[in-house]
């Protein structure tokens, strides 16, 4: 059969993150899956600021999983605040455009 040329497509989010409530020190995952051609690059933003993962900082406790989800080895929570708490969105981009997921809040459970 003749191979149909697959057309490039702008990203779309097929799995959105949902709100999470986590105990401090526990792992957590914010789901995100995007489709597109070429495969979109996923970035995460927390309260509007880009989230650094172990790709930028090997010591980071946050890992960008191959599918685009954001994995926290353990939720950080100190006397000085709750650095992981906030509202997250994932953004998938390729040269045709970008797609932004719904907001998901990550909350750290009280003591």
d(CA 60, CA 54): 5
Q: Which CATH number does 16-108 carry?
A: 2.60.40.10
pLDDT higher than 90, residue 76? no
pLDDT digits over 43-65, tens only?
A: 999 999 999 999 889 999 999 99
Could you tell me the residue ranges of all domains in the chain? Answer: 16-108
pLDDT band per the 50, 70, 90 thresholds, residue 3: low
pLDDT band per the 50, 70, 90 thresholds, residue 79: confident
CA angle 90-96-99, nearest 5°? 20
32 burial type by CB count under 10 A (0-12 exposed, 13-18 middle, 19+ buried): buried
């Amino acid at each position: 059969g003749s191979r149909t040329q697959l057309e490039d497509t702008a990203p779309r989010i097929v799995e959105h993150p949902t709100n999470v409530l986590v105990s401090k020190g526990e792992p957590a995952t914010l789901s995100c899956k995007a489709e597109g051609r070429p495969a979109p690059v996923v970035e995460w933003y927390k309260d509007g600021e880009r989230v650094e993962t172990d790709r930028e900082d090997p010591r980071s406790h946050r890992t960008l999983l191959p599918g685009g989800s954001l994995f926290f080895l353990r939720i950080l929570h100190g006397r000085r605040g709750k650095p992981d708490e906030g509202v997250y969105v994932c953004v998938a981009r390729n040269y045709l455009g970008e797609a932004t997921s719904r907001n998901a809040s990550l909350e750290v459970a009280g003591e």
